A = this chain, B = another copy of it.
Amino acid sequence: MYKVKVYITLRESVLDPQGAAVQQSLHSLTYNEVSDVRVGKYVELTIKDTDRDLDQLVKEMCEKLLANTVIEAYRYDVEEVITQ
């Protein structure tokens, strides 16, 4: 079994209005040290043992469903879970 953690972020060149709103709210809460905020998505997938290539599988899932690759970038970590 595998735990795959996928991080999806807006590409650098894409405006992030949600991040700007969060930043403004943090400033009104007196956290003026915060100079930039970017908001993304975090997806945890639990994947059963499979014969298919895991890297290939996760990339396909990200590109077909999880991320919009025109405006978003993704990266992921794979952890193997040993069950006894």
Contact = CB atoms under 8 A, between A and B. Distances in A.
Interface of A: 1, 7-9, 19, 22, 25-26, 29, 31, 33-48, 50, 52, 57, 60-61, 64-66
A22 B52 contact: no
Given A40-B41, A41-B41, A46 B25 contact: no
A7 B46 contact: no
B57 A31 contact: yes
A68 B84 CA distance: 34
Contacts of A25: 65
B26 A61 contact: yes
A49 B56 CA distance: 41
